[in-house]
């Protein structure tokens, strides 16, 4: 066999804990890279890239969307789905307007023959609506948020952070910070569980 240089094999998984240890030996898949969920700044970069070909209204602020708490734990795929769903919302709104204009235009058929301006035609508002690009507004993103949710739950994220620590990812300082975050989240969850138990006992 010929010696192949500069050839890299990359594999992706969300369950590194069940990979055969033999596959992780030196010379095989020995370098582990933990790809975390995007931060607010990274979400903004992703949204800017995804919306390059999407006509956005003047009321749309991608930085506000990226920092919105509803975007927490959104992956790149989730953000793509959000932009796509916002576009579909804008399209549905336009089609509803056209449908309403079409029904109204049918009632003016008799008047058109007498020279009255119509809703449907070269000079009507329908033609104007069709000639303009469909604009995605903040309301469309607001609608999209009701239909798109994070594909990674807070519980899943906690599990992946634990796996990251288990496989020795990051510097000693980042490991310590991550361990502290995990412990804080675990304590918070336990406190909420105790509160629910107390509430249920008091209701009895």
Alpha-carbon span 11 to 32, nearest angstrom: 10
pTM of the predicted model, to two decimals? 0.66
Question: Which residue's entry shows tokens 């050839």?
Answer: 7
β-partners of residue 136 are: 56
Here the tokens at position 92 are: 């549905």
117: Cβ–Cβ under 8 A, 6 or more apart, which residues?
A: 123, 124
- Cα–Cα distances (Å) from 69 to 81, 147, 149, in that order, read 17, 15, 12
pLDDT (tens digit per residue) in 155-197: 888 888 887 787 765 555 555 665 565 556 555 555 555 555 5
pLDDT tens-digit series, residues 92-147: 988 887 776 665 555 545 444 444 444 444 445 555 555 567 889 999 999 999 99
Residue with tokens 């008091």: 202
Structural domains of the chain in order of their starting residue, each with its CATH number: 39-151 (1.10.8.60)
């Amino acid at each position: 066999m010929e010696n192949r240089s500069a050839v890299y094999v990359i594999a992706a998984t969300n369950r590194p804990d069940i990979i055969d240890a033999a596959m992780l030996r030196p010379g095989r898949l020995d370098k582990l890279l933990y790809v975390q969920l995007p931060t607010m700044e990274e979400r903004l970069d992703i949204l800017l890239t995804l919306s390059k070909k999407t006509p956005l209204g003047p009321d749309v602020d991608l930085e506000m969307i990226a920092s919105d708490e509803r975007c927490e734990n959104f992956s790149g795929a989730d953000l793509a789905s959000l932009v796509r769903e916002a576009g579909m919302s804008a399209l549905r709104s336009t089609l509803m307007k056209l449908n309403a204009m079409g029904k109204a235009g049918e009632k003016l058929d008799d008047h058109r023959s007498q020279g009255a301006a119509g809703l449907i035609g070269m000079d009507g508002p329908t033609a104007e609506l069709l000639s303009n690009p469909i604009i995605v507004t903040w309301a469309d993103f607001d609608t999209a948020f009701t239909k798109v949710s994070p594909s990674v739950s807070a519980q899943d994220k906690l599990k992946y952070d634990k796996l990251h620590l288990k496989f020795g990812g990051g510097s000693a300082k980042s490991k310590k910070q991550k361990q502290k975050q995990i412990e804080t989240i675990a304590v918070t969850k336990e406190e909420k569980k105790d509160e629910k138990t107390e509430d249920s006992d008091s209701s009895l």
